[in-house]
Amino acid sequence: MGRKRKKSQYRRPAAAPSPTGPTSFVTAPRLVDSFGRSRSFNPDYTYVREDLRRIGILAGSFIVLLIVGSFFFR
């Protein structure tokens, strides 16, 4: 079987920039701390902390079970 060729599609050229100049955008105000660092980015990682805590508890309990089990299965 021969190869199928796609028909070339005509693309429109990009729109020309407006003659009035760039448009202005309204941005959110930047919060700056006493050291001059931006404080606008403040992610919430509470779910990560909860997951790490759960993993730590499970790992600790498995280690304790292995140690206790080693005394009984000798």
pLDDT digits (tens, 9 = 90+) for 9-55: 666 666 665 666 566 666 666 666 677 666 677 788 999 999 999 99
pLDDT at 1 over 80: no
Instruction: Decide if 57 is inside a domain.
Output: yes
Instruction: Decide if 53 is inside a domain.
Output: yes
pLDDT at 3 over 90: no
Q: What is the pLDDT of residue 43?
A: 86
Assigned token pair, 14: 């990009």
Q: Which domain holds residue 54?
A: 44-74
Q: What is the value of pTM for the model shown?
A: 0.44
Q: What is the pLDDT of residue 58?
A: 98
Whole-angstrom Cα distance, residue 64 to residue 67? 5
Buried b (16+ CB within 10 A) or exposed e, 41-72: eeeeeeeeeeeeeeeeeeeeeeeeeeeeeeee
Total tally of structural domains belonging to the chain: 1
Give the helix/strand (H/E) hosting 61: helix 46-72
